[in-house]
Amino acid sequence: MLVVKKFGGSSVADAQRVMNVARIVTDTYKEGNDVVVVVSAQGDTTDDLIEKALEINPRGGKREMDMLLSAGEQISISLLAMAISSLGYPVISLLGWQAGFQTNSTYGAARIKRVDPERIRAELDKRRIVVVAGFQGINKYDDITTLGRGGSDTSAVAIAASMHADVCQIYTDVEGVYTADPRKIPSAIKLTEITYDEMLEMATSGAQVLNNRSVEMAKKYGVELEVLSSLKRAPGTKVKEVTNVEKMLIKGVAKDDSVARVSIIGLPDSPGIAFKIFSRIAKAHICVDNILQSVGRDGTKDIAFTVPASNGDEAVQALKEYCEAKGVKALECDTNVAKVSIVGAGMETHEGVAADMFGALSDAGINIQMISSSEIRVSVLVEKKDADRAVEAVHRHFLGD
Amino acid sequence: MLVVKKFGGSSVADAQRVMNVARIVTDTYKEGNDVVVVVSAQGDTTDDLIEKALEINPRGGKREMDMLLSAGEQISISLLAMAISSLGYPVISLLGWQAGFQTNSTYGAARIKRVDPERIRAELDKRRIVVVAGFQGINKYDDITTLGRGGSDTSAVAIAASMHADVCQIYTDVEGVYTADPRKIPSAIKLTEITYDEMLEMATSGAQVLNNRSVEMAKKYGVELEVLSSLKRAPGTKVKEVTNVEKMLIKGVAKDDSVARVSIIGLPDSPGIAFKIFSRIAKAHICVDNILQSVGRDGTKDIAFTVPASNGDEAVQALKEYCEAKGVKALECDTNVAKVSIVGAGMETHEGVAADMFGALSDAGINIQMISSSEIRVSVLVEKKDADRAVEAVHRHFLGD
């Protein structure tokens, strides 16, 4: 079997944890598998490097920032290779460019164009464990690029896809994907399996287990993912195209409290106004999530939408001039909200799942501000203070105690 | 003019010093020059990285160690580029391999095979200041190598040689090359000029201003060097083929107290015995400096030689078996010694310089244990406790108060 494993920064934060990762890796190798390991920078390295840069030049330039930050994984791959070597196994570390990662030139958030795994394959043929720097690649100018935060997941999936790996294991500090945050909901269940689509909806709904781009790529190339713990040896959650366990109506309840609701009250009810609003938002490179538009009344209407909390003020700025020109009554940004979602492929074939969710919230006395849904997801916006209670009520209703 | 500048780790140790270097660099650029800057890793970065490695695996493997350590310059070049950019000048940083450094595969102490400065030239043509990572290159397997300690000097000279730079300026924490260590001898004079050969003899005699390999390379390719201070704006010392100032008989007095004297007393006086001794030392990769062999007496003779202090015990180990088999009276290593040298091209054409030196030492009541000399150098071995007084006496004699 060819196994790709990915370990995040906290899994390699110090010498002891690096040794722990080395043992996990060599255990898989000992069983006769080919092993490629993708690692991120150690613990706070990236933040420390960013701090150094800010001290010198707050607008350091994205190319130089990528040059700086990519040193982080260079340190962690060599240390992990040394740890594996100390256990007596053959190993080699490779930087992004050595491992064949070609990206576009969007410094700080580069897209992988292709992975040429020739060197990795040659090293595996020598029966070496190959340790690859995640998060980084090289563009057509031979300059170093980074994939943006969470990019190491994508690096791992890209290697697994290009080499047709049997499985891509993503190690985290949780034991898998749960039906809700187990720190908050003690009755949350660890899922054995989940589909790519469900995982994507979970991630966009606030479950911070896997980077979304990596799940999209895994889906596109049919890479079987497994999410598991680097601290506890136990099976994790498999992410795949179709799951066997179809009896579960919903796979999870997620909460995202880093959202902001932008409301525009009293817009003139003329054609094309929504286009004008959202093209301004798009120009500011802000992702819009839910959109709610009231029915026109007195020749005006209201539009509300949610954006990431960090973009709330920007969104208001982007619209201010236009809204003032149109004489709107109010343009507001409210960050005192949270989004609660249920996700499950089962709801495609079951009616009334949304209604059930609203009922559970109503019974708990929680007011719903906005609603949005996809085929396999229903999300509601509630007041931030109600969010945890909402997750609990909905989880209890669908998944029991 | 094309100017290559090199700054060591202490010159870029923190944000403030990085800004200082940025100002020195941009001042030269402002005058209309093309500027290439070579930098080492910040302050203690290399030592910190070595410590991380030792914690995980004391025998980490040299390839992985080079992978680890080369991250140090990656951090410093990007920070310096950000600093230069913050002053409003166009700049780009390049890693060793991006700057065209091809080396052999001796990890940890690689030799530069060639520098292909195509990328550097292209960036200079765009009127950019080019910041290059010193100390590192790439071998024929596309793996990262390092040149060993002090390698950044060599990197700078190699770029200057391959691009026919007008001058290669090596910035340090001293203001130039002095006739003696100015912290010890207040009357020491800063030299305006010194020849390559004198500089080489000074360096091997203990003056730690320039890395020897870099001076050898500068001599071979006729690169004009200048040693100057990164903290004080003042002309430094030029190192070149021929100096104009011929009136100075000697250019400096140097001390090296990290030497050990190995003595073998009572060796049988048979042919080929010196060969057998020193081939064993060579096999242990130990550099021998002075050698002294006594005239044979009673069918035995004595041999003494000096080696770097750190190799003293190794040298004894390498000879132990052989000496015991030959029944020598004693095999000893003495680190309680120091080498004091005078260097100057002038002594080639002046007789009696050595005798003058011995006289000055005699007047100061200092006993000479061994003597060696080249065409432009005379070195004596003295007791360690006498070394500073010896330097002072000799400096006073030749260079005055």
pLDDT digit string, tens, across residues A46-60? 899 999 999 999 887
Cβ under 8 Å to B: A residues 57-86: 57, 59-61, 63-65, 67-68, 70-72, 74-75, 77-79, 81-83, 85-86
Amino acid at the residue A317: Q
Helix (H) or strand (E) holding A338: strand A330-343
The band of A244, judged by pLDDT with boundaries at 50, 70 and 90, is low
Q: Is the dihedral of CA A18, A20, A22, A25 positive or negative?
A: negative
- How far CA A201 is from CA of A189, A344, A377, B307, in Å, comes to 18, 9, 7, 69
Chain B: nearest CA to A77, how far in angstroms?
8
- Does residue A128 have a pLDDT over 60? yes
Task: Locate A143 and state its tokens.
Answer: 């300059």
A264 pLDDT exceeds 80? yes
Are the Cβ atoms of A85 and B64 closer than 8 angstroms? yes
d(CA A99, CA A138): 10
Dist. CA A135–CA A45, nearest whole Å: 13
Residue of A nearest to B50 (CA): A79
Q: What is the pLDDT of residues A217-228, one digit of tens each?
A: 999 999 999 999
Residues 104-143 of A with CB under 8 A from B: 119, 142-143
Report residue B301's pLDDT band, with 50, 70 and 90 as the boundaries. Answer: confident
Measured in degrees and rounded to the nearest 5, phi and psi for residue A265 equal -105, 130
Kindly report, residue by residue over B28-42, the tens digit of the pLDDT.
999 999 999 999 999
Name the 3-class secondary structure at A47: helix
**Residue A1: exposed, middle, or buried by beta-carbon count in 10 A (0-12, 13-18, 19+)?**
exposed
Range from A252-266, B235-249, B278-292 that averages highest in pLDDT: A252-266
More confident residue, B244 or A291: A291
pLDDT in the model for residue B245: 57
**Which of B160, B163, B155 is CA-nearest to residue B138?**
B155
If you write DSSP's letter for every residue of B128-168 in order, what string do you get? Answer: -EEEEETTEEE-TTS-EEE--TTHHHHHHHHHHHHTT-SEE
Q: Chain A: nearest CA to B105, how far in angstroms?
A: 15
By percentage, how much of chain A surpasses pLDDT 70? 98
Among A residues 20-59, those touching chain B with beta carbons less than 8 Å apart: 49, 52-53, 55-57, 59
Cross-chain Cβ contact A71/B67 below 8 Å: no
Residues with Cβ within 8 Å of residue A3, at least 6 apart in sequence = A28, A33, A34, A35, A36, A165, A166, A167, A169
Residue in chain B lying closest to A61 (CA): B82
Q: Which CATH number is B253-399 given? A: 3.30.2130.10
Lowest mean pLDDT among A79-83, A235-239, A310-314, B272-276: B272-276
Sequence letter at residue A318:
A
How many angstroms separate the CA atoms of A110 and A101, rounded? 11
Which pTM does this prediction carry? 0.84
Strands (E), A230-269: 237-240, 252-268
- Strand, coil or helix: what is A126? coil
C-alpha A68/C-alpha B229 separation (Å) is: 27
Q: How far is B8 from chain A (nearest CA, A)?
A: 18
Say yes or no to pLDDT of B116 above 70.
yes
Rounded to whole angstroms, the Cα distance separating A308 from A335 reads 9
- Report the largest interatomic distance among the alpha carbons of chain A, rounded to a whole angstrom: 78
pLDDT for the residue numbered A193: 92
Among A56, A77, A78, the residue with its CB nearest the CB of B86 is: A56
Read off the pLDDT of residues A142-198 as tens digits, 9 standing for 90 and up: 999 999 867 999 999 999 999 999 999 999 888 899 999 888 888 999 999 999 999
pLDDT tens-digit readout, B236-271: 999 998 776 556 778 899 999 999 999 999 888 877
A143–B98: do the CB atoms touch at under 8 Å? yes
- pLDDT tops 60 at residue A245: no
Domain A2-172, what architecture?
3-Layer(aba) Sandwich (3.40)
Beta carbons of B379 and B271 less than 8 angstroms apart = no
- How many angstroms separate the CA atoms of A137 and A143, rounded? 8
Question: What is residue B247's predicted lDDT score, i.e. its pLDDT?
Answer: 66
> Domain limits of chain A?
2-172, 253-399
For residue A40, the SS3 value is coil
Q: Which helix (H) or strand (E) holds B196?
A: helix B196-204
Q: What is the pLDDT of residue A293?
A: 78
Q: Which of A56, A83, A142 sits opposite B82 (nearest CB)?
A: A56
pLDDT class for B360, splitting at 50, 70, 90?
very high
Sole residue written with tokens 């005798």: B355
